[in-house]
Amino acid sequence: MLEIANLSVNYGRVRALDGVDLTIKGAGALHGIIGPNGAGKSTLLDAVTGRRAPSGGAVRYRGQDITRRSVAWRRRHGMARSFQRTSIFQDLTVREQLTLIARHLGDDRLGDVIDAMNLGDCLDEKAGRIAYGVQRRVDVALALIGRPDLLLMDEPGAGLSAEETLNLFLHLRDLVRERGMAAVVVEHDVDAVFACCDVVTVLDLGRHLATGTPAEIRADARVISAYLGSAA
Amino acid sequence: MSGGTSRAAARSGVLLGGGVSTRAPVTVLLAALIFALGAYAPTHFLSEFALRIGAGGLLLGILALSVAFLMSQAGLVALGAASVYGGVGYLFAICLSEWDLSPTAALLFAFVAVVVYSAALGALIVRTNPLAFMMLTLAAGEMISHSVMLEGLRDYTSGADGLVVNFKGAVFGMTSADFANATRFWPIAWSAAWGLGLAAFTVRRSRFGAILRAIRENEERMRFSGFGTYLPRLVAFVFVNAIAGVCGLLHVLNSGFVSPESLGLSVSTNALVAALIGGVAGSTGPIAGGVLFAVAQDQFGAHGFTQLLTGVAIVVFIVLLPRGVVGALLDAVRRSDRRGTG
Amino acid sequence: MIALLIANSLALASLLIMLSSGLALIYGLRDVINFGHGALYMLGAYLGYSIALAGGFWLALLVSPLLLAGLGVAFEYGVLRPLRGRSHIEVALVTLGLGIVLGQALIFVYGGEARGVDAPTALAGSVRLFGLSYPLYRIFLITMGLGSCAALALWLRYSTSGLYVRAVSQDPSVARMMGVNADRLSLLVTSLSAAFAGVAGVLAGPYLSVDPGMDVTMIVNCLIIVVIGGTGSIAGAIVAALLFGFVQVAGSVFLPDLAALAPYVLLFVVLLIAPRGIGRGRAPA
């Protein structure tokens, strides 16, 4: 579904991503991306979603080259993203913002999203007033509207405890299977990733290091020396 | 008893863009009453002079509305409102004197021209961040001011002397003399204020308004939710400039004269101050602010001193009274309302 | 002919560089545009005029910037710090209001006509350069402009505070995390910016004039330069100032009737080609 070909991103003279090749197969799979700080994980998401223009390489979505497409275009065509720093509308109620997006994307089954992210209780609260954890759920809900085929998430576990992150990932895995969508999740919490993801990719210093099942990655010597150390 | 009233309330409830109000029909009736009264009562009770000040205040208030709408809905401060307000007057005058158009045709041409101008300008500057936008509208306003004073265009604009506007025949049934008459002009200014205020209200309550405000709050998330964020702001910019254009045409019809002062920076800042005084959030605020400003200006006399007070007012209202006078009053009402029912 | 054009462009650009770099510095550091910067320049000019009448040009060149630096400190403590929590637009509007007050106060004190300031006797007269006779004062002006440019560049490149300013301008969140004392930096930048406005104001006296409209004219010029240069980029502002000076001067030579519009044409052409301006400003948020 998603093909990343020789993707490079430069910040001035710094090479944040260096010739990364990656394929996301598709429906029903939860694909985790891990790596040390500065590995380029967020940059990869930025480049794939169109937030940052790559300095080289291409992004192909469903066979089509979308490297030049706008962020809004990608969203309208089924590629959604959630944010590391919760990015929602503080002054609108939860209902208002979900409805606003739903109407634009032509989604008339908003109830599904509300149930999936368990937002039924706080619909008429202003988003700025609800708890942080709930705000994060709103952030994800906004990304789920319109039944995207590909969901890209940037550190959904940021600010959550290990247990909360694990629960979130389990929830994500169910969601992904139920809806038949693909999800790519950048995450720091390695345990949650290994526990729930079907495929794991490791990035290091802007380069692709390894991709495989959690078991394969845990056993991979290069990964262990570069990142996992004895934590695996 | 209560069951009957609640059923009746439900039947008469009107959905006003997201809010159900059983008081809506009463409000509409009250509004219509105030409108009718306001259009004609002042002409019987107030002096010519007072009507002149009042009408001037309403026009400034409409200009303030254009500034306020863009600020509250799109988060953009336009410091060049006077260039459209005065510019449309110049174009009208030039159409009449240089190109011999009929007054109606001249009005139309001038209006369309400023709408096209604001579309072109907006296309260039709406993409930038709000601070840059503010700077660029200031620059554009000054550009228009300078254009009017250019030696090369002296034949058209008469430079610093300004242009006298005199048309024969009637526009919408009113002659040049009618427009200049304070008693006959007041209902026009009053109706225009209500009409444009209502237009702004309608847009605010529409889906477009919600989109604008959401873009203002979190532009990036809107893009990531599939919205284009450029076009809505461009449309909003053209909309507020259309309002300024109508207002400017009324002004030139009433005053019969345009000069470089009509499009100077002080007019733009006056509109801004009027918006801040009244409160930028609604339609009543800016228009009331305009009237307040006009009255205050009359009281304080000398131009220089008024301008100084304008500067002071900007600082005072931003720092101390960000919701303006009308906004503060509404807050007070809301608070007492809550206390009453709570 | 070309030499004259370049020389005159440099003279104008010198003033503009002093003013717009101050504006760009504050913008890069605090994301605040001081709309009252033109009024500061005007204050510097009028103060310079008064001081020069009493004690000569050189005294004015010394005292006016010092007084303005003091005002800059007052601005930092009285306006920028208390309003720190407010949106950038609100702060910008407050500076607009204050600028209006200052400008009007100056008109009230000095009246509405233009004042002339004489160049000091040491700098009066002309000099023969490349076969042309050129006013010595303008050469002085150019030297001051290039000098301040060089001083600014050296400071930014080699001093610790200069490094901090560059860092914060590029990415405020990161720099703040690294413990940069943004407050002290801001105080330094604000008073420097005001002082430079004072210098420019005094220098402008014998070169342009001292008149009631100079605050608006100058703030618009500076705003155009900051936008063209790329918001937050000081190098960009300098390049833009040079470009602006050239376009303005060339315009008045080749198209005198439309010369007043030349800067605006430049602005909109640049916006069409490079919507983010010339310099490498801060990364998109």
What are the structural domain ranges in chain C? 2-113+122-212
Number of folded domains in chain B?
A: 1
A115-119, B138-142, C183-187, C274-278: segment of lowest average pLDDT: C274-278
Print the domain residue range for B140. Answer: 52-298+306-323
Given this model, what pLDDT does residue C63 score?
94
Mutation target to probe the B interface, by most B beta carbons within 10 A, among A100, A110, A140 is A100
Contact A76 B223 (CB under 8 A): no
Contact C31 B131 (CB under 8 A): yes
Mutation target to probe the C interface, by most C beta carbons within 10 A, among B76, B126, B146, B272 is B146
Structural domain contains residue B256? yes
**Vertex C24: Cα angle to C18 and C28 (nearest 5):** 150
Contact A101 B228 (CB under 8 A): no
Put simply, whether B19 touches A (Cβ < 8 Å) is no
Report whether pLDDT(B19) > 70: no
Report whether pLDDT(A229) > 70: no
- Three-state SS annotation for B155-166: HHHCHHHCEECC
Place of tokens 């306020």: B68
Helix (H) / strand (E) containing A182:
strand A182-186
How does residue B12 score in pLDDT terms, banded at 50, 70 and 90? very low
Whole-angstrom CA distances from B334 to B72, B328, B338 are 20, 10, 6
d(CA B64, CA B58): 9
Mutation target to probe the A interface, by most A beta carbons within 10 A, among B225, B227, B230, B231 is B225
Q: Which residues lie below 8 Å from residue C177, measured CB to CB, with a gap of 6+?
A: none
Structural domain contains residue B76? yes
Q: Residue A174 phi/psi, 5° resolution?
A: -60, -45
Chain B residues whose beta carbon lies within 8 Å of the beta carbon of residue C267: 136, 139
Assembly ipTM: 0.91
Whole-angstrom CA distances from C4 to B320, B341, C244, C250 are 52, 78, 16, 10
Report whether pLDDT(B7) > 80: no
> Are C78 and C194 in contact, with CB atoms under 8 Å apart?
no
CATH number of the CATH domain containing B248? 1.10.3470
Given this model, what pLDDT does residue C123 score?
78
How does residue B339 score in pLDDT terms, banded at 50, 70 and 90? low
Mutation target to probe the B interface, by most B beta carbons within 10 A, among A48, A77, A89, A94 is A89
Mean pLDDT of B13-31: 62
Q: Can you read off the two tokens belonging to residue B139?
A: 């620059």
Q: Which residues lie below 8 Å from residue B210, measured CB to CB, with a gap of 6+?
A: A96, A100
> Are B204 and B71 in contact, with CB atoms under 8 Å apart?
no
Mean pLDDT of B168-189: 85
How does residue A93 score in pLDDT terms, banded at 50, 70 and 90? very high
> Are B89 and B59 in contact, with CB atoms under 8 Å apart?
no
Chain B residues whose beta carbon lies within 8 Å of the beta carbon of residue C275: 127-128
Q: Closest Cα partner for B18 from A77, A95, A208, C17?
A: A95
Structural domain contains residue B39? no
Q: Which residues lie below 8 Å from residue C102, measured CB to CB, with a gap of 6+?
A: B311, C36, C39, C40, C42, C43, C215
How does residue B2 score in pLDDT terms, banded at 50, 70 and 90? very low
Tell which B residues from 168 to 207 touch A, by Cβ distance under 8 Å: 207
In this prediction the pTM is: 0.90
Place of tokens 């959630």: A82
Given this model, what pLDDT does residue B234 score?
97
Pairing state of beta strands B14-15 and A79-82?
unpaired
Mean pLDDT of B206-217: 95
Mean pLDDT of B192-197: 96
Pairing state of beta strands A30-34 and A199-204?
parallel
**Vertex A80: Cα angle to A76 and A84 (nearest 5):** 145
Whole-angstrom CA distances from A122 to A96, A125, A126, A141, B296 are 12, 5, 8, 13, 47
Report whether pLDDT(C141) > 70: yes
How does residue B144 score in pLDDT terms, banded at 50, 70 and 90? very high
Given this model, what pLDDT does residue C177 score?
65
Percent of chain B whose pLDDT exceeds 70: 91
Report whether pLDDT(B3) > 60: no
User: Where on the phi/psi map is residue C84: left (φ > 0), alpha (ψ -120 to 50), or beta?
Assistant: alpha
Given this model, what pLDDT does residue A156 score?
87
Which superfamily does A28-42+76-228 belong to?
Answer: P-loop containing nucleotide triphosphate hydrolases (3.40.50.300)
Helix (H) / strand (E) containing B91:
helix B81-97
Touching partners of C (3+ C-beta pairs < 8 Å): B
How does residue B342 score in pLDDT terms, banded at 50, 70 and 90? very low
Size of interface B-C (CB pairs under 8 A): 113
Mean pLDDT of B225-246: 96
> Are B318 and C97 in contact, with CB atoms under 8 Å apart?
yes
Contact B226 A142 (CB under 8 A): no
Report whether pLDDT(A232) > 50: no
List the single residue in A76, A87, A105 with the smallest CB-CB distance to B218: A87
Domain ranges in chain A are 28-42+76-228
Q: Can you read off the two tokens belonging to residue B329?
A: 């009053």
d(CA B276, CA B313): 8
Place of tokens 């042309």: C132
- Could you tell me what percentage of chain A is helix, strand and coil, using 3-state DSSP and rounding each to the nearest 5? 40, 25, 35
The gap between the terminal CA atoms of chain C, to the nearest Å, is 46
Q: What is the DSSP string of B29-72?
A: HHHHHHHHHHHHHHHHHS-HHHHHHHHHHHHHHHHHHHHHHIII
Given this model, what pLDDT does residue C245 score?
93
Q: B221: nearest CA in chain A?
A: A87
Contact B224 A146 (CB under 8 A): no
Chain C residues whose beta carbon lies within 8 Å of the beta carbon of residue B150: 257-258, 260-261
Given this model, what pLDDT does residue B9 score?
40
Long-range contacts of A49-56 (CB under 8 A, 24+ apart): A49/A74, A49/A79, A49/A81, A49/A152, A49/B224, A50/A74, A52/A9, A54/A7, A54/A8, A54/A9, A54/A17, A55/A8, A55/A9, A55/A10, A56/A6, A56/A7, A56/A8, A56/A19
Mean pLDDT of C128-146: 84
Report whether pLDDT(C213) > 70: yes
- Could you tell me what percentage of chain B is helix, strand and coil, using 3-state DSSP and rounding each to the nearest 5? 80, 5, 15
Length of chain A: 232
Mean pLDDT of B170-182: 83
**How large is the greatest C-alpha to C-alpha distance in chain C, in angstroms?**
58
List the single residue in C83, C89, C258 with the smallest CB-CB distance to B134: C89
User: Where on the phi/psi map is residue A160: left (φ > 0), alpha (ψ -120 to 50), or beta?
Assistant: beta
Chain B residues whose beta carbon lies within 8 Å of the beta carbon of residue C30: none
Contact C104 B142 (CB under 8 A): no
The 10s digit of each residue's pLDDT in C78-116 is 999 999 888 899 999 999 999 999 999 999 999 888 888
Q: Which residues lie below 8 Å from residue A74, measured CB to CB, with a gap of 6+?
A: A49, A50, A61, A66
Q: What is the DSSP string of chain C?
A: -HHHHHHHHHHHHHHHHHHHHHHHHHHHHHS---TTHHHHHHHHHHHHHHHHHHH-HHHHHHHHHHHHHHHHHHHIIIIITTTTTS-HHHHHHHHHHHHHHHHHHHHHHH-SS-B--PPPGGG-SEEEETTEEEEHHHHHHHHHHHHHHHHHHHHHHHSHHHHHHHHHHH-HHHHHHTT--HHHHHHHHHHHHHHHHHHHHHHHHHHS-B-TTHHHHHHHHHHHHHHHH-TT-HHHHHHHHHHHHHHHHHHHHH-TTTGGGHHHHHHHHHHHH-TT-SS--PPP-
d(CA A62, CA B115): 42
Q: B139: nearest CA in chain C?
A: C220
Given this model, what pLDDT does residue C68 score?
96
The 10s digit of each residue's pLDDT in B86-110 is 999 999 999 988 888 888 999 999 9
Given this model, what pLDDT does residue B189 score?
94
Report whether pLDDT(C161) > 90: no
How does residue A230 score in pLDDT terms, banded at 50, 70 and 90? low
Q: Residue A18 phi/psi, 5° resolution?
A: -125, 95
Q: B266: nearest CA in chain C?
A: C100
d(CA A116, CA A145): 11
Whole-angstrom CA distances from C235 to A65, C133, C163, C232, C274 are 37, 32, 14, 9, 16
How does residue B6 score in pLDDT terms, banded at 50, 70 and 90? very low
Those residues of chain B whose CB sits closer than 8 Å to some CB in chain C are 75, 77, 79, 124-125, 127-132, 134-136, 138-140, 142-143, 146-147, 149-152, 220, 265, 269, 272, 304-305, 307-308, 310-315, 318-319, 322
Q: Residue C33 phi/psi, 5° resolution?
A: -100, 125
How does residue B267 score in pLDDT terms, banded at 50, 70 and 90? very high
Percent of chain A whose pLDDT exceeds 90: 29
Given this model, what pLDDT does residue C278 score?
66
The 10s digit of each residue's pLDDT in C24-61 is 988 888 888 999 999 999 999 999 999 988 888 899 99
Given this model, what pLDDT does residue B14 score?
36
**How large is the greatest C-alpha to C-alpha distance in chain A, in angstroms?**
51
Report whether pLDDT(A153) > 90: yes
